[in-house]
Structure 1
Amino acid sequence: MKKSFFVIPLSFLAHILIVNIVLYALTPVTYKNAFTIVFINLAWFFVTYSLDFYPTARRESFSQSLKNFFKLYILFGLVYFTSFAFLKPYPYSWQYLSLVYLMICALLMLFRIFFYWSRNLVRTKEYVHTRTVVIGRDKNLKKIRRIFDIPKYGYRYMGYFDNSKSNSPTYLGDIESSYEYIFNNKIEEVYCLASRLSKDEIKHIMNIADNSLKKIKIIPDNKELFSRAMSIELYDSVPVLNLRASPLDLEYSNLIKRIFDITFSLLVIIFVLSWLTPLVFMLMKLDSKGPLFFKQKRHGVNKNTFWCYKFRSMTKSDDSDTKMATKNDMRVTKLGKILRKTSIDELPQFFNVLKGDMSIVGPRPHMEVHTKQYETSVEKYLVRHFLKPGITGLAQVKGYRGEILRKSDIINRVRYDIFYMEKWSILLDIQIITNTVTNIFMNDKKAY
């Protein structure tokens, strides 16, 4: 952010004050031990420094910074509780110290929310705008302009230069005239579209920018290959584009999701399935012949096959592994209609989650025959197999569950699954679970 030299020091100072004020007010004995105070404050500095916690990208939002915040909570929490080992005897109970720590976390989070709110507000003011120009014009110009036009990012787009003349009001002239314009109009950031510039032109612009304290950024010629999930990795000094990046590529993200899956599944198994399973068993024996559970081979992560479990909701048939349930399907039993309408038939899949074959939230697993059908007829269908399948998913809460009546149903399902993979967060998982439960009580028309 322009004129933001003091933002990082002030943020650091505010956080340190919050930590120390809460500790002084709620655990005053702490301040009778100088070593403990020095330990806590130095630990805060080293933890935030190791996480690169304070420097934020211009386009970073509050939700994007949450993963760093949770890592900070975990690491600083370890420091916090360790620090009380220096106080003997312990003047406070562990329950009380936990509440104090939660108070610190809550106040830090509130300050972070205020920081992003005030930052976005300040960036809407004229005097903090970053003046930018673009050199070159291709399909990326419109895309980058959409970013410049968002007030909270704090850009002021002046126009573009290109050797192809245009009547556009933002056209400023040919590439040669851009050099003088950059000097005379206090331009701070120059964006170069590589597809429209030669190697010598880019080098010349880089020299001008370096010698005049202007930031230069190159937008590569993407050949229409890039995606919103793309990331750049450095192999030594060689930049490599990862076109299918996901937050779940990171080990800690997978760990958080797995811990959530195990915890949630155990709660459902212990407090719901423990009494619901015998009840369904008794009702099923009165309703129809057959086993309690129905199992079917489905494709999971990396297209690996696993047994997916459900409460049986249909009579036994030869096409159970090839034909989806349809509206008014004669195979569905009387009890099965209730189980399917309320999604109770899916609950045994929490055992699949506990085993590690599935996740609570993810793309719904399809039958093997359907995978073979769609992998050749639906573009990017197999991308959804980069993730563990889920009991519920983003596509399902958006209305694309159950029977596939039109090709657009499976296409949109795949699009939502890929969007989920690219934008995963634990908060998104919680939101999808909440929407799934809500849909059960709102008479989902596709629950049959």
Structure 2
Amino acid sequence: MSAFDVRDILKAAGPPGQTDAPRAPLAETAAPVAPGAISTVVVAGLVRMAEFGAICALGVALHAALLGGAVPFGVRYAGAVVGIAAVSVGLFQVAGAYRIAAFRNVFKSAVTLCGGWALSFLAIAAVLLVTKLGDNYSRLWLGSYFAAGLPLLLPGRITLGRVIRDQTRRGRFDRRTAIVGGGPAAEELIAALETQKESGIRVVGVFDDRGDARSGDVVAGYPKLGTVSDLVAYARHTRLDLVVFTIPISAESRILQMLAKLWVLPIDIRLSAHATKLRLRPRSYSYLGSVPVLDVFDKPIADWDVVVKAVFDRCVGALLLIGLAPVMLGVAAAVRLTSRGPVLFRQKRHGFNNEVIEVLKFRSMYVDQCDPSAVRQVTRDDPRVTPVGRFIRKTSLDELPQLFNVLKGDLSLVGPRPHAIGARAANTFYDQVVDGYFARHKVKPGITGWAQINGWRGETDTSEKIQRRVEHDLYYIENWSVLFDLQILLTTPFALLKAENAY
């Protein structure tokens, strides 16, 4: 976060329970769920890696076909292959060949590749000439390498172009954007965004708390869909990637009041530079196409971070599932043999962006006394808990089936623990106790988390306990990294030895 501080936002929010979306059904203005977004950063990176690998593979294959048995591959040829691939991909990058617009336009992409490929070999030839290393490499190999490069790359770009155009028509590369604030400022911003054909911005509508003449029902051809509170419900019900404020930065109190409702969402929030007379250095802004904006909030885990965390979860989760299979079979047998009823207990909980997910656990209560809504928390010596259940709850062995939720994609290995929908602290819903409670849902929940290894697990019978748990969850979200996840995973077994609050 850059422009505003969370503490200022929470001060503007008022008492706990007023910062988040109501528990009533989501806004009827929300459109059907949009197709999932595809990160242009990830797509460009994958294409870059694929072409680098293809160029390297071509060089190795040509050496084997033309020089195999006569000239050893060795360090010289390996260096040349990597150098040619690096120079070529670097020139493609400089020429803009890895932009989504370039992927869509096959003809322009082909011209860029041809120029970059030719220039890369000219550069390599110049280096060999200046350094007098030309005699160390086969001219047949170099000539064949140059001749075969484009026939290798162009068919891939043609296929890629078809795929990208198809996904573009489906809106997979659109950044679905809501405008907050109406009037002339919003009209100017929308007009500027609509001139940026390659920015990928798709305005879905306008939201404004004002209902007078300053904010009409239609702004620059886009409907006013409701208030900022409606925007929170809208974002819970359909895909939304970006919110842009057109409110002047001088209206600080009004912006803070709106941010108190919106900061809990897993989206980017920007302040339009069109809405202020303040002019900063160009590097102080980020840009939507060429439209300058000020960063307020960023989605916590995006682009490559999403890919890295997903791969980490699936790979480590699968290994843990295999390694812990004997333990899980033993627990399942103990649950089944000591009390009637199913081995697994299913409970609906809040997941990413308040999505309702079904979490698996080993059943720890007598089947006729289970509490799926968690209206009544488990306490010390709770008679509803079976003898086996008491042990597996204290050691957290009851949580192991959630590894299946990780492989399914509902949970991460590490993240804020998902709470039951009806969970309470001191007979009050969590979101009415803690300011910004739903901000912990900006990332996917996890089996273990920063709060748990710091002792904030088990019963939340006081407001202070849930407050501290949420504080740790928000710290994790702000400071996430793969190394942080690994640290929490490695620390979890030791934290489980301190089970004072787990009943």
After TM superposition, the score normalised by the length of structure 1 is 0.50
After TM superposition, the score normalised by the length of structure 2 is 0.45
